[in-house]
């Protein structure tokens, strides 16, 4: 049983060669209560365990909405679970830029943009996120009340 608990703790740690973001562990950019709920949710345990940057693309393509937490029990969305996983494994900047440049999957693009806003420099944010203001596609957003449609361009206001 001890080995099993050790493996769970290891699955929630940031990679050893990770760079600090704004002087702290990248995972700490997500609030502790939200992080704890993510670690305990079914999606994290089934889909994010041992997820690599290459496999992240497949999971991102399966996204159906953006958002942080939803419902009465305040469950984390798959979107915020993947954001935390990206903070944990710190994919190469080229991979994140390709997420942002992806025209076919709007939620892959949103995931890359959100991650870039969290960890990128102001120059990177301007360079890669400014073109997203020309993307007018509708997106589903899950929140505590339920879900609603929003335009991608409006997400720029959330990214500031």
Dump pLDDT digits (tens) for 47-94: 998 888 889 999 999 999 888 888 777 889 999 999 999 999 999 999
Q: What pLDDT is recorded for position 40?
A: 92
- Domain residues of the chain, as ranges? 1-159
Per-residue confidence at 157, pLDDT binned at 50, 70, 90? very low
pLDDT given for residue 117 in this prediction: 92
Residue 151 Cα distances to 90, 135, 138, angstroms = 28, 8, 4
Check: CB of residue 2 under 8 Å from CB of residue 9. no
* pLDDT tens figures, 38-50: 999 999 999 998 8
Identify whether the C-beta of residue 53 lies closer than 8 Å to the C-beta of residue 92.
yes
Tell me the pLDDT tens digit for each residue of 111-155.
999 999 999 998 998 899 888 888 888 888 887 776 666 765 545
């Amino acid at each position: 049983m001890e080995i099993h608990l050790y493996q769970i703790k290891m699955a929630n740690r940031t990679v050893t060669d990770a760079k600090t973001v704004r002087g702290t562990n990248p995972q700490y950019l997500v609030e502790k209560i939200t992080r704890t709920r993510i670690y305990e949710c079914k999606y994290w345990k089934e889909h994010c365990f041992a997820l690599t940057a290459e496999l992240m693309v497949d999971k991102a393509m399966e996204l159906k909405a953006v958002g942080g937490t939803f419902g009465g029990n305040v469950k984390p969305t798959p979107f915020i679970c993947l954001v935390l996983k990206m903070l944990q494994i710190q994919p190469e900047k080229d991979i994140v830029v390709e997420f942002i440049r992806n025209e076919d999957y709007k939620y892959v693009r949103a995931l890359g943009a959100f991650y870039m806003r969290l960890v990128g420099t102001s120059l990177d944010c301007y360079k890669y996120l400014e073109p997203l203001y020309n993307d007018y596609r509708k997106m589903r957003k899950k929140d505590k009340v339920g879900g609603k449609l929003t335009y991608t361009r409006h997400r720029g206001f959330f990214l500031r």
